[in-house]
Amino acid sequence: APRDAAPFLGTSGFGPLDNISFLEMLEDGARDWAVRHGGSVVELHAYALPADLAVDEAALREVLWRELLRVHPGLDGARVLGEELLVREDCPLVGTDPWATRPGVRTPDPRVVLAGDGIRCELPVALMERAATTGFQAADTLLARWDVAGHGTWSPPLRGRVPGAGALRRILSRG
């Protein structure tokens, strides 16, 4: 991995590339492999491929590699020792259309709570982060029934500090 690389980086504006993970920074098995082979274990995700189009796997590999090099140009010339490409339709939410119909953590039965990446969460999280966040929220909900303090959930602010600043910015950017 490049010296300045984050273990996990969510991306935007890099074609279909949604995130980059350097797994040797996150998992013991990947770290051991990277040490033995003198390299890195890199995972690239493209969650929002068009569902109605057939995926050209060779073209997808090429574009993901090209976008990775835009983010980490120091990897140019790196040799690929092995790879695995998984193309699946198992990402539970790409758009926001079904958001309002998703179940939340709490259910009508206070003994039953839900958690996972398919559960509605009002915090700015996605997929794995949503699974972890709703897991904490579900545990906290159950613990509260017994007056036991839970973990709590921290988040960036959901609104700006200055009311109306976003609207003012949009008006000013038009002119």
Enclosing domain of residue 17: 8-75
166 belongs to a structural domain: no
Q: Which of 21, 44, 75 is the last residue of a domain?
A: 75
Residues 108 and 142 in one domain: yes
Rounded to whole angstroms, how far apart are CA atoms 125 and 117? 9
Looking at per-residue pLDDT, the higher value among 3 and 63 belongs to 63
| pTM of structure | 0.63
Residues 70 and 100 in one domain: no
Q: Which of 75, 100, 124 is the last residue of a domain?
A: 75
Q: Which of 75, 106, 134 is the last residue of a domain?
A: 75
Q: What is the pLDDT of residues 4-19, one digit of tens each?
A: 899 999 888 999 999 9
Rounded to whole angstroms, how far apart are CA atoms 21 and 9? 6
137 belongs to a structural domain: yes
Q: Taking Cα atoms as reference points, which of 17, 6, 10 lies closest to residue 127?
A: 10
126 belongs to a structural domain: yes
Count other C-beta atoms under 10 Å from residue 141's C-beta.
19
Number of domains in the chain: 2
Cα separations in angstroms, 130 against 12, 36, 67, 93:
18, 34, 26, 11
Q: What is the pLDDT of residues 139-172, one digit of tens each?
A: 999 999 999 999 888 887 777 778 777 778 888 8
Question: Residues with Cβ < 8 Å from 25, sequence gap 6 or more?
Answer: 1, 5, 7, 31
